């Protein structure tokens, strides 16, 4: 089941996308055979995804930042934008202020 990193998956139906020519900017255009939606994958997207994965790995581990990049400073810079991302479950928890018990344990202190 080869799934190369640069082979995107449809954001609508999660099927594999197939190459469908190029955009005027020279980027590969991808198309979903299943639902017909098209997408353009940029390198920034996959790099960001990797950074965010490291960010989560670091948050949920006790390892120092330096273990996730070439240096602590590099890692701090790479994941800076991740702090501004609001996870779906957090948004949900905020909109359900009454039912604190449904929020993950990490936010239990706020209740």
> Can you give the binding site for Zn ion, defined by CB under 5 A?
10, 12-13, 32, 34-35
Task: Name the residue nearer to Zn ion (CB basis): 37 or 69.
Answer: 37
Closer by beta carbon to Zn ion, 32 or else 79: 32
By C-beta, is 29 or 65 nearer to Zn ion? 29
Q: What is the DSSP string of 62-80?
A: -S-GGGGSSSHHHHHHHTG
Q: Reduced to 3 DSSP states, what percent helix, strand and coil does the chain have, rounded to the nearest 5?
A: 45, 15, 40
Question: 81: which DSSP letter?
Answer: G
Minimum separation from the CB atom of position 39 to Zn ion (A): 9
Shortest Å, Cβ 9 to Zn ion: 9
Instruction: Kindly give, in sequence order, each residue whose CB lies less than 8 Å from that of residue 5, ignoring residues fewer than 6 positions away.
Output: 46
* Residue that has been written with the tokens 């996959």 in this structure: 46
SS3 16: strand
| Shorter beta-carbon distance to Zn ion: residue 3 or 101 | 3
Task: Output the smallest distance, CB 15 to Zn ion, in A.
Answer: 5
The nearest distance, CB 11 to Zn ion, in angstroms, is 8
């Amino acid at each position: 089941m080869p799934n190369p990193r640069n082979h995107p998956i449809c954001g609508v139906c999660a099927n594999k996308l197939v190459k469908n020519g190029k955009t005027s900017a020279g980027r590969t255009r991808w198309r979903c055979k299943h639902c017909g939606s098209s997408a353009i994958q940029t390198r920034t997207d996959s790099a960001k995804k990797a950074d965010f994965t490291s960010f989560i790995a670091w948050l949920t581990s006790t390892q120092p930042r330096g273990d996730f990049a070439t240096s602590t400073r590099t890692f701090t810079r790479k994941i800076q934008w991740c702090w501004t991302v609001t996870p779906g479950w957090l948004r949900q928890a905020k909109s359900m202020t009454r039912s604190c018990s449904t929020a993950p344990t990490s936010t239990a202190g706020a209740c």
